[in-house]
Amino acid sequence: MKTDKEYPATHSMETAWYCVDEDGNVGIFQIEDNGPVPEGYDYGGDPDSLFWYGFSSYDESMIRHLPLTPEQIEPLLIPKKELKKDWDNSYGRESNLWWNNVIIKIDMTKLPLLEKALSLNPEKKGHLNEKAVCLSEPEGLFSVIMNYNKKGVSLLEENDVIKAVYETPEFWLRESYDDDEIVNEDYKLYPVYVYWQNYWPYSGAASKYVEPRYPLKISQLPKELQDKAFRIPLKFKDTDRIQLAEYLPVKVSGCPEYVYDSQIWCELATSDESLMYYNQKTKAIIYKETMDKLIAEGKAEEFDWDKHRDLKK
């Protein structure tokens, strides 16, 4: 197990991070609430934010770049329904939610006008919502957020910059506390493998929910992201379940715990739906057969707060 790299990760109510398989395909992992999640690189956020802004290049200009192939872009282009021109003050400032998270096709000869329009965004200086993400320069396709940018939208409309407007497919997976899945089918339109480790049980492995026909390749991402991405030694196309702790250091919370050798071991499901026990300090793994033997011999036992609380320090 490698421990000298920086891993995309965080640990919050909803966590999205990415890794790469043996074929160079990018996979997004969405981990609900308690993990396990990789140690190290702190991203945070959700899959759509990771896809549009985490994967796109960054500089001081108003345009970021995430070059997708025509085959990857095509499923994302859902024609936006009739234009809603009304701007209102329902949110304390002029807004038009019709312009929230859309993909626009522009006349590329007027690209400077798009940059000018983006600069008129009243959002906080430096906020990602000010930026556009270019998906294809030849096709003039950009992902934009302009629902508070009335001046910018007006500039584009007055100068006939926009040729078409498309919905940005929603990209989320959730599970409610009563175990009913809340799943949005739009996430299947994105060109990335998606694995989801749901809220319950805490110890579950991540299950594959999306297998794209034209998957995003690590070579399409900025160099700095290529360098930090962890490469898992498997092929996403052949793997339906992944237990992260079997491949890289992780943080875990909320799982059943056992004590062995004066250390706490977290019970997790393996990729093949058996059980394993993971030590967050040493990164070591004990599989079920061995742990059962240790318990039978009186060398291991379930964690008891009154008895083992000092191990939590």
Instruction: State residue 34's pLDDT score.
Output: 60
Separation CA 119–CA 116 (nearest Å): 5
Alpha-carbon distance of 63 to 115, in angstroms, equals: 7
Q: Which residues pair with 182 in a beta bridge?
A: 174
What span, in angstroms and rounded, lies between the C-alpha atoms of 131 and 129? 5
The Cα–Cα gap between 255 and 155 comes to 54
| pLDDT at residue 12, as a whole number | 44
pTM: 0.84
Q: What is the rounded distance in angstroms from the CA atom of residue 63 to the CA atom of residue 276?
A: 46
Cβ-Cβ contacts under 8 Å for 116 (sequence gap 6 or more)? 152, 155
Write down the residue that tokens 């320090």 correspond to.
313
Q: What is the pLDDT along the chain (313 residues), one digit of tens a residue?
A: 333 333 333 344 567 788 899 999 999 988 766 667 787 755 556 788 888 888 888 777 889 999 999 999 999 999 998 888 889 887 678 899 899 999 999 999 999 999 999 999 887 666 777 789 999 999 999 999 999 999 999 999 999 999 999 999 887 666 544 455 555 678 789 999 998 876 665 567 888 988 999 999 999 998 888 888 888 999 999 999 999 899 989 888 778 899 999 999 999 999 998 999 999 999 999 999 999 999 999 999 999 999 998 998 7
In a 13 Å sphere around the CA of 231, the CA atoms on its Cβ side amount to 10
Side-chain-side CA neighbours of 198 within 13 Å: the count stands at 16
Non-local (6+) Cβ contacts of 14 within 8 A are 30, 31, 32, 33, 45, 46, 174
Q: Are 249 and 8 in contact (CB under 8 A)?
A: no
Query: Rounded distance, CA 39 to CA 45, Å?
Result: 16
Cis peptide before 36 (omega within 30 of 0): yes
Residues 6+ apart with CB under 8 A from 266: 36, 203, 252, 255, 256, 257, 277, 278, 279, 280
**Which helix (H) or strand (E) element contains residue 288?**
helix 288-296
